Amino acid sequence: MRRRRKLWLVIFFSLLLGGLFFYFRRGPQIAAHSVLLVTLRGTYPEAAPEGLLSRIVSGRETSLAELLLSLRKASADARIRGIVVRVADLEIGWAKAADIRDGLTAARRAGKSTLALLEHEAGNAALPYFVASACERVYVAPGGQVALRGLAARYVFLGGLWEKLHIEMDVEKMAEYKTAGDTLANKAMSPAHREMANSLLDSVNDWYISTIAFARGIDSETVRSTIEERAPSGAQQLVEAGFADGAKYLDDLWHELGVDRNAIVTEDTYGQVPPTAVGLETGPRIAVILAAGTIATGESYRTSAGAVAGADSLRAALQDAARDPRVRAIVLRVDSPGGSALAADSVWRAVQEARRHKPVIASFSDLAASGGYYIASNSTKIAAQPATLTGSIGVVFARPNIRGLLAEWGIHTETLSRGRFAYLDDPTSPLDDGGRARVREDVERTYELFLRRVSEGRGLERDRVHEIGRGRVWTGTQAKELGLVDSLGGFYHAIELAKKEAGIPAEQDPELMFLPKRKGWWQELTESFATTRSQALPRFVRQILERIPVGLEPGPAAILADAVTVQ
């Protein structure tokens, strides 16, 4: 009897596993003339696509790679005749917005009907509208208050905070545009900071205006004056300005498309369709290495404070991809404000070694500044979106003196040392002139190394790198004009560059292998809890925390970008 039960159990699980294998290989059944429903909301982190089990257990947000792949699959899938996009509150930067917009534009060019429904509830909807404008028709939810008020850049200065906490923040930087130091120590903008900030805002705004104008068939100056002078809000004003096509509910869009409920395919369902089922990712392999977050020594991980791009993880991934005979090219996907100079130089070296074996294409997301630019500067080619914050070739050193804070709580310290500068590592000792000169020497040495690395990687003279460096942040458009970037485009533009450099025929669609390798579902689950906790904080607070330089204790100089949010 027991043997018979065991036999039936073996048969049952064999059939179950066989069914699951067949399901995941072929994916769910999609009816002909279906319409894909996509809801755009949240952060879309730069992360590897997750398996079904990980998505179910960890409950993570959809990654940008997963979203872009779904749009690509829909473009190539003969069963999908259209895409309806519900655009809500997007907590992403302009480069990611451009990547999503590129995906919608590609679907439209492939002959798919594309309709956008703006469900932004209140406040400035500049970025959500920018994404929605890629669709052939744009509608506004009747109950929403979609407003186009123009772009604004917010900068945060923490100098007054340290005063209230009785902390002295000593900062040394190279050079005048390295405003991460200003963020830490100042109370207001310096003239150099203001010059750079206005230049960035003008560049993003010009690109934003021209993109919308082209999409809606309106003169650029008309778009500019309408937004600046009228700030249209609500469906009626947007329609009158030519920015929208009407006010509709989601059900109205199904009626417009003549779609039966059974023909609506959700993102979750469509995410289970393997790319090979629609003829994608059947060609040679390209490795995609994700460098997302603050650059630090050690392993990559995600916490409630943000992502960390660990040098050990990135170096190992580059080495694995370079040695793998199945990998024809490498795409280094960067979304980082910078971090440790030591860690960045370690990854720079790994890129150099990988290039000896196969092409390395750097693809920039929202941020590729400071250490983020450092690690990519030695790539075969570099691609950025027009609004990617790029460059910030500079160095900053921050040293807090917490003696006053401790004294407020009745805590007093004494430090005994041997060596003139041993006190530099003591956070309770003030910085004297000699110590400041010593720190300055370290910062200048790190900056010179940064200049040399970019000079070698980009084929530019050292003095030219210094001229366009000095800590200055550029948009992708400006960076291309200056020679810091080779071409403008998003993630799949970088894939096309990699194909060309590797000699992969244009008609072949490469298989993408994401590195560092995905973690186990248990580790993803625990990390997702930490990430979820951070979502309870207001968005503005999270943006500040994500960009405050980590590791403020005395130590090696860091290479960090300025804290800027353009909305």
Q: What is the pLDDT of residues 411-454, one digit of tens each?
A: 999 999 999 999 999 999 999 999 999 999 999 999 999 999 99
CB count in 10 Å sphere of residue 2: 6
Q: Residue 482 above 50 pLDDT?
A: yes
Pick from 323-337, 394-408, 506-520: least confident: 506-520
CB count in 10 Å sphere of residue 29: 9
pLDDT interval class at 61 (50, 70, 90): confident
Q: Residue 457 above 70 pLDDT?
A: yes
Residue-level pLDDT at 487? 98
**CA 8 – CA 559 distance, rounded (Å):** 62
Pair 461, 408: CB distance under 8 Å: no
pLDDT interval class at 532 (50, 70, 90): very low
Tell me the average pLDDT across 180-193: 92
Angle subtended at Cα 40 by Cα 519 and Cα 338, rounded to the nearest 5 degrees? 50
Residue-level pLDDT at 418? 93
Dihedrals φ, ψ of 454, to 5°? -65, -40
Pair 377, 138: CB distance under 8 Å: no
Q: What is the pTM of this model?
A: 0.89
First to last CA, the chain: 70
Element of type H or E holding 308: strand 306-310
Dihedrals φ, ψ of 241, to 5°? -80, -10
Question: Which candidate, 385, 390, 547, places its Cα nearest to that of 469?
Answer: 390
Residue-level pLDDT at 199? 98
Residue-level pLDDT at 23? 46
Helix (H, G, I), strand (E, B) or coil at 114: strand
Q: How does the average pLDDT of the chain come out, rounded?
A: 89
Pair 334, 364: CB distance under 8 Å: yes
- 331 vs 558, more confident: 331
**CA 243 – CA 427 distance, rounded (Å):** 55
Pair 514, 68: CB distance under 8 Å: no
**Please, is 338 exposed, middle or buried when counting C-beta atoms within 10 Å of its C-beta (0-12, 13-18, 19+)?**
buried
Tell me the average pLDDT across 464-473: 97
**CA 439 – CA 395 distance, rounded (Å):** 12
